[in-house]
Amino acid sequence: MIRQSIRRQIVLFTVACVWLLNAFVFAQNPAPAQQPAAQQPETVDSLRMRLASHISQQRFGAAAWGVKIVSLDSGKTLFEHNAQKYFSPASNAKLYTAALALERLGPDYRIKTSLYSTARPDASGTLKADLIVYGRGDPTMAARLNGGDYFKGIEPLVNKLVDAGVRRIEGDLVGDESFFAGPPFGSGWEWDDLQAYYGAEVSALTIDDNALDLFVKPAERAGMPCRITTGPATSFITLINRTQTSPKGSESRIVVYRPVGENVIYVSGRQPIDSNGYYTSVAVHNPAGLFVSLLKDALIQRGIAITGRTRVIDWKFREVTPIDLNRLVELGAVESMPLADVLREMLKPSQNLYAQLLLLQVGVNSKRLAEGNGAEKTVHNNPNSNPEVSKNPRLSQAASPPLPLSEARVESKTTEETSIDMLNDFLDGVGVRKGDVLLEEGSGLSRRDVITPDATVTLLSHMSRSRFAELYKSALPVAGVDGTLQNRMKGTPAAGNVRAKTGSLRYVYTLSGYVTTAAGERLAFSIMLNNYYNPERSAALRDANSTQVTRTAPPAPRDDIDAIAIMLASFTGSTK
């Protein structure tokens, strides 16, 4: 019995040792963990189903969707819906203007503004003649591009005049905006847009985006008129103050009205005494007049006296009184930033004025471009085709338009119409079907503009292969980063990825550009939502602004569009 007990203990001890040894070995070399099955890439068919489901929601019943998505790597179409139907593009039209300007003028093209006279200043620095400021459509003399300084944009012109020895001008200060032939508005721009900064008049002499900043602040006590100032301060406009400072905590309502064709700004309403103030930007009438008015103020600040008046000369005046710039003395000139930078300042904030000016710039240069001289030769907008000019060093410094004005104005077409002809020729050359793009101006502000999603994707595909592909793409807003997409698609796979042009008018929402999928495939897309209005969203937003219990609002139209871009950025499948 004792021996059996001892044997049993030996066996149990041996088993325990083996178990402990195995446990030690397992601990040092654990079994591989069970790996989840690899997620299968999404198929193109499943993406199409999700996209189709999204745009067919009931709330879009009265609206129209136009969508086209194409792989830039394989050339295959991932999805399309109404791709060959017309849609209002809003600011997606700027994609066309930017491509045309870049391809026809080149990224280094600069726009020149000159100071001309019939004589040079005498030994005392007196200019006994008119001083002509000749504009060619430079949009960049703006406070927003000069650290908020309203006068910094024209300071180089003042410096040029000082360098030329001018101390006194015994003549008029003349703003010549005749470089462009045509009205100061894009075709189809509506009258109720013309007061706002985004509907500013177009001029070859442009200053501070042809608009004034307007600031309204409460007075020191209730009952008094509010304090109204403009940036810059100027006597060019007349302010009619019909406001009143109201008691603390009262409702604030300020109304600003500038009649079309006038420079009288009426400001009315009430503002509580504890208000932080009200701000808006108001377009001015006759921006060339504002230009020379501000230039005169700047010249006086530098000690240059002017005995004459300020006045403006336009294209209609030059039809009967042409000017030969080669017979004038150029006292100084300044140039804009390169076109590549102007495109960025046009596309990222969606600046309508800049877009229209660039379209017109192509039209003015149309004859020289058609003759095959090339954009690179005209980056300074200074063609000296007259043999007599090259013989005279003084005259060779005087920039002139591509056509002598006496010849250019004989044609019946406006510069805008010529520019649109150039655009249509360009689009025909890149494969856009004739009639798929019916643009009348360069910004998309016109309600008469219509294009197809198919045309926009064709353009984007062409530009992705262009020698200027990176410049074009980098000028577009980046989702979640800058421009009009700065606050959109943040925290999604589209952020920092989608580069696209936004667009919006009343009941119109668009987004077209580029995106790279999660699988690394490059796509071009055009998404257009027209005629969309959701009364449920409007009611929910009204509730949110009142004391009522709020209801959940349906997504904003731009969120519905962004949802498609996010789907594309998240797509794990491939067409390759």
pLDDT digits (tens, 9 = 90+) for 402-420: 444 444 444 579 999 999 9
Mean pLDDT confidence for 515-540: 91
**What is the arithmetic mean of pLDDT over 219-241?**
97
Q: Which residues are 205's β-sheet partners? A: 138
DSSP track, 459-502? HHHHHHHSTTHHHHHHTS-BTTTSGGGTTSSTTSTTTTT-EEEE
pLDDT of residue 536: 80
Partner residues linked to 523 by β-bridges: 71, 515
Q: Please give the angle made by the CA atoms of 132, 135 and 140, to the nearest 5 degrees.
A: 130
State the fold for domain 44-87+452-570. Answer: Beta-lactamase (3.40.710)
Q: Give the per-residue pLDDT at 368.
A: 56
Return the pLDDT at 551: 60
Report the SS3 class of residue 507. coil
**Domains of the chain by residue range:** 44-87+452-570, 112-190+289-339+375-408, 211-283
Terminal CA-CA length for the chain: 81
Contact 532, 93 (CB under 8 A): no
Q: What is 112-190+289-339+375-408's CATH topology? A: D-tyrosyl-trna(Tyr) Deacylase; Chain: A; (3.50.80)
CA distance linking residue 528 with residue 129, whole number of Å = 55
Q: Kindly report, residue by residue over 423-471, the tens digit of the pLDDT.
A: 999 999 999 999 999 999 999 999 999 999 999 999 999 999 999 999 9
Higher pLDDT among residues 399 and 40, named by residue: 40
Q: What is the mean pLDDT of the chain?
A: 88
pLDDT tens string 305-333: 999 999 999 999 999 999 999 999 999 99
Sequence-distant (≥ 6) Cβ neighbours of residue 344 within 8 angstroms:
474, 475
Band of residue 535 on the pLDDT scale cut at 50, 70, 90: confident
pLDDT tens digits for 420-435?
Answer: 999 999 999 999 999 9
pLDDT digits (tens, 9 = 90+) for 247-290: 999 999 999 999 999 999 999 999 999 999 999 999 999 999 99
Report whether 451 contacts 461 (CB < 8 A).
Answer: no
Distance CA 200, CA 208 (A): 11
Q: Which long-range contacts link 340-346 to residues 24+ away (Cβ below 8 Å)?
A: 340/102, 340/107, 340/108, 340/471, 340/475, 342/111, 342/139, 342/140, 343/98, 343/101, 343/102, 343/471, 343/472, 343/475, 344/474, 344/475, 345/139, 345/140, 345/145, 346/94, 346/97, 346/98, 346/139, 346/475
- Residue 30: pLDDT above 50? no
Torsion of CA 486, 489, 490, 493, to 10 degrees: -130
Provide, rounded to the nearest whole percent, the portion of the chain with pLDDT above 70.
83
Beta pairing, strands 173-176 & 310-313? parallel
Tokens standing for residue 119: 């004589």
pLDDT in tens, 92-146: 999 999 999 999 999 999 999 999 999 999 999 999 999 999 999 999 999 999 9
Residue 374: which residues within 8 A CB-CB, separation 6 or more?
none
| pTM score, whole prediction | 0.85
pLDDT > 90? residue 212 = yes
**Residues near 162 by beta carbon (within 8 Å), at least 6 away in sequence:** 302, 304
Percent pLDDT > 90 in the chain is 80
What Å distances lie between residue 212 and 151, 283, 512, CA to CA? 13, 6, 31
C-alpha–C-alpha distance, residues 491 and 183, integer Å: 45
Omega before 232 within 30 of 0, i.e. cis: yes
The pLDDT tens digits for 65-84 are: 999 999 999 999 999 999 99
**Nearest in space to 365 (alpha carbons), one of 107, 569, 564, 101:** 101
pLDDT at 366: 78
Q: Could you give the CA distance from residue 170 to residue 366 in angstroms, rounded to a whole number?
A: 38
Q: Residue 102 in contact with residue 468, Cβ under 8 Å?
A: yes
Question: Is 373's pLDDT higher than 50?
Answer: no
pLDDT at 375 over 60: no
- Does residue 384 surpass a pLDDT of 80? no
**Cα–chain center distance at 441:** 14
